[in-house]
């Protein structure tokens, strides 16, 4: 059997050297390495050998396979080079032809959605405030009313950079940054706040059709005198109606976030079935918009605002998930897969 293998190797290499064009090369590949090729059949017949001869034969046959594959690639390149040289000699290859044109491109679907969200909130008086993607443990958790070992930290699995710094799991730490900035102005009193905080967030979690390990959020924060839950519900209702159509209805459910009290989850009636129940809303009639609530007194105080005088609301919206709903996209992984066939559709 080993002799047969050696003969096969010699014969195959000689035949390979004799190939003169890509057709002959493909034929060689089919004959020796293809599914029904000589070597493949020989490898399959290993079971017919006496048990003690099988390992040595298997090793040798795999060695021949590796050699033949490498020789095939080398020959393929040599033939391609020869073909190019021939074309150059005959002047058939015009090296002065211009390359493929690069089109002007357009905004990514996430950027388009972000801009729609900015425009909606701008009309309600919200400024855009940017805060960093790399945060401290204190800002991402501690000052948001989640001291070390607080069980609510488990809701946000984190990418750590050393002991103290991390990739933010949500845009909420920006609440503290903007409050501290506006509380410490040259005027003696803190300023009222109405901002949205857009940006990328990171979570160490399983990637699925609905969850990425990096995604965008838009945080909203309003702090003032006499701000109530009704203002929050009004802002979210307005947002849903502007993005998805004036007939949208909003549903509020009680929820829990350590940095808001009370905390709510806002849903809107399903844009596809109008609340009848379908695959997109999992037959519930409702779709999640995001988490929200009244800013917790501890968070207001951490931001430099006295909760006896000030109140505020905050919300956190996804960006890709609303875009998925709006454009009927069924897999979040498409957003950052860099496939132009997908991106050109928007
Ligand atoms: C939060 O992140 C809170 N910080 C929101 C908040 C802000 C509550 C202010 C109260 C006050 P949550 O983990 O539910 O909450 O995320 C908010 C939104 O981010 C989700 O509704 C969803 O649209 C989006 N999101 C969360 N995780 C992912 C993910 N892995 N992939 C894509 N989108 C995600």
pLDDT in tens, 127-137: 999 999 999 99
Q: Which residue has the tokens 């033949």?
A: 68
Number of domains the chain is built from? 2
Given this model, what pLDDT does residue 2 score?
78
pLDDT at 92 exceeding the cut of 80: no
Query: Is the pLDDT reported for residue 86 higher than 90?
Result: no
Ligand 1 centroid, distance to 144 Cα (angstroms): 15
pLDDT at 326 over 90: no
> 341 falls in which pLDDT band (50, 70, 90)?
very high
% the chain with pLDDT above 90: 64
Pocket of ligand 1 (CB under 6 A): 170, 172, 203, 205, 211-212, 215, 217, 219, 257, 260, 288, 290-293, 314-316, 318, 320-321, 332
CB–CB of 196/218 below 8 Å? yes
Task: Please report which confidence band the pLDDT of residue 277 belongs to, taking 50, 70 and 90 as the band edges.
Answer: confident
Instruction: Give 291 or 41, the one with higher predicted confidence.
Output: 291
The answer to whether the beta carbons of residues 268 and 251 sit under 8 Å apart is yes
Residue 304: the pLDDT is: 96
CA distance 147 to 319: 28
Instruction: Give start and end residues of each alpha helix (H) in 37-146.
Output: 38-44, 54-90, 109-122, 137-140
Average pLDDT over residues 201-220: 93
* pLDDT band at residue 255 under the 50/70/90 scheme: very high
Q: Is-contact 202 159, C-beta < 8 A? A: yes
| pTM for this model (two decimals) | 0.73
| Mutate which of 316, 323, 335 for ligand 1 pocket (most atoms within 8 A of beta carbon) | 316
Residue 273's nearest CA partner among 287, 262, 260, 261 is 287
Residues 190 and 305 in one domain: yes
pLDDT at 90 over 90: no
In Å, what is the CA distance from 343 to each residue of 45, 104, 112? 49, 14, 11
Confidence check: pLDDT of 188 > 80: no
Closest residue CA from atom 30 of ligand 1: 211
Contact assessment for residue 343 and residue 141, using Cβ atoms and an 8 Å cutoff: no
C-alpha 272 to ligand 1 mean position (Å)? 22
Distance CA 300, CA 181 (A): 13
- Residue 97 inside a domain? The answer is no
Residues 81 and 123 in one domain: no
For residue 126, what pLDDT is reported? 98
Residue 282 pLDDT greater than 90, yes or no? no
- Could you tell me if 146 and 286 lie in one domain? yes
Render the burial of 265-292: b for 16+ CB within 10 Å, e for the rest: bbbbbbbeeebeeeeebeeebbbbbbbb
- The Å distance, Cα 327 to ligand 1 centre, comes to 20
Q: Is the pLDDT of residue 232 over 80?
A: yes
pLDDT in the model for residue 172: 98
User: 216 pLDDT band (50/70/90 cuts)?
Assistant: very high
Of 346 and 271, the structure prediction assigns the larger pLDDT to 346
* Mean pLDDT value across residues 163-183: 96
Note whether 213 and 281 are same-domain residues: yes
106-145 in b/e form (b: 16+ CB < 10 A) is eeebbeebbebbbebbeeeebeebebeeebebebbbbbbb
Which comes out higher in pLDDT, residue 242 or 47?
Answer: 242
**Up-side HSE of residue 62: CA atoms within 13 Å toward CB?**
7
**Is 103 among the domain residues?**
no
16 and 125 part of one domain: no
**Above 80 in pLDDT, residue 241?**
yes
Please report whether residue 162 resides in a domain: yes
Ligand 1 centroid distance, CA of 317 (Å): 6
Are 280 and 287 in contact by the 8 Å Cβ rule? The answer is yes
Statement to judge: residues 321 and 257 lie in one domain:
yes
Shared domain for 325 and 206, answered yes or no, is yes
Q: What is the mean pLDDT of the chain?
A: 92
Please indicate, yes or no, if residue 204 is contained in any of the structural domains: yes
Whether the link from the prior residue into 262 is cis, omega within 30° of 0, is: yes
> What is the domain-level CATH number for residue 186?
3.30.930.10
pLDDT in tens, 8-51: 999 999 999 999 998 999 999 999 999 999 998 888 888 888 88
Of 169, 176, 291, the residue with max ligand 1 atoms within 8 A of its CB, to mutate for a pocket test, comes to 291
- Cβ proximity of 275 and 259 under 8 Å: no
Pairing of strands 214-224, 250-257: unpaired
Closest ligand 1 atom to the C-alpha of 292? 10
Domain that holds residue 44: 2-90
Cα distance between residue 227 and residue 216, in whole Å: 27
Q: What is the pLDDT of residue 335?
A: 96
Asked whether residue 142 is assigned to any structural domain, the reply reads yes
Instruction: Please indicate, yes or no, whether residues 211 and 277 belong to a single structural domain of this protein.
Output: yes
- Is there a domain that residue 180 lies in? yes
Joined tokens for residue 205: 């979690």
Beta-sheet strand order (sheet of 127-128): 127-128, 193-202, 214-224, 311-318, 286-295, 260-269, 250-257
Residue 81 has pLDDT above 80, yes or no: yes
Say if residue 72 is in the same domain as residue 153: no
**Whole-number Å distance between alpha carbons of 75 and 67:** 12
Is 101 within a domain?
no
Alpha-carbon distance of 346 to 344, in angstroms, equals 6
Rounded CA separation 70/33 (Å): 12
Based on the fold, state whether residues 77 and 148 are members of the same structural domain.
no
Q: Which of 318, 320, 330 to mutate to test the pocket of ligand 1 (most atoms within 8 A of CB)?
A: 318
> Is residue 57 domain-shared with residue 186, that is, in the same domain?
no
Predicted local confidence at residue 73, as pLDDT: 94
34/140 same-domain check = no
147-161, 193-207, 231-245, 294-308 — which is least confidently predicted?
A: 147-161
């Amino acid at each position: 059997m080993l002799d047969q293998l050696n003969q096969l190797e010699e014969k195959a290499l000689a035949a390979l050297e004799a190939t003169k064009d890509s057709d002959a090369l493909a034929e060689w590949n089919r004959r020796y390495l293809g599914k029904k090729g000589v070597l493949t059949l020989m490898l399959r017949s290993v079971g017919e050998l006496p048990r003690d001869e099988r390992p040595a034969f298997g090793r040798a046959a795999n060695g021949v396979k590796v050699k033949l594959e490498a020789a095939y690639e080398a020959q393929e390149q040599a033939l391609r080079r020869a073909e190019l040289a021939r074309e150059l000699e005959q002047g058939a290859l015009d090296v002065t032809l211009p390359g493929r044109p690069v089109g002007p491109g357009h905004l990514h679907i996430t950027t388009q959605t972000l801009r729609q969200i900015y425009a909606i909130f701008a009309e309600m008086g919200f400024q855009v405030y940017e805060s960093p993607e790399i945060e401290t443990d204190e800002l991402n958790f501690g000052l948001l009313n989640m001291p070390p070992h607080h069980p609510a930290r488990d809701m946000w699995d984190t990418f750590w950079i050393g002991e103290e710094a991390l990739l933010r799991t949500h845009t909420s730490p920006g609440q503290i940054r903007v409050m501290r900035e506006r509380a410490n102005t040259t005027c003696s009193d803190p300023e009222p706040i109405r901002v949205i905080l857009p940006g990328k967030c990171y979570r160490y979690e399983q990637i699925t059709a609905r969850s990425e390990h990096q995604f965008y959020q838009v945080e909203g924060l309003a702090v003032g005198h006499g701000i109530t839950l009704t203002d929050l519900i009004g802002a979210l209702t307005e947002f849903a109606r502007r993005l998805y159509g004036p007939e949208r209805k909003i549903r509020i459910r009680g929820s829990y976030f350590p940095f808001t009290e009370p905390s709510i989850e806002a849903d809107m009636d399903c844009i596809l079935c109008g609340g009848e129940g379908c695959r997109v809303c999992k037959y519930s009639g409702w779709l999640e918009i995001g988490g929200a609530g009244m800013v917790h007194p501890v968070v207001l105080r951490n931001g430099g605002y006295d909760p006896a005088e000030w109140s505020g609301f905050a919300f956190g919206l996804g960006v890709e998930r609303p875009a998925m709903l709006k454009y009927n996209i069924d897999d979040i992984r498409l957003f950052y897969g860099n496939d132009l066939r997908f991106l050109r559709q928007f």
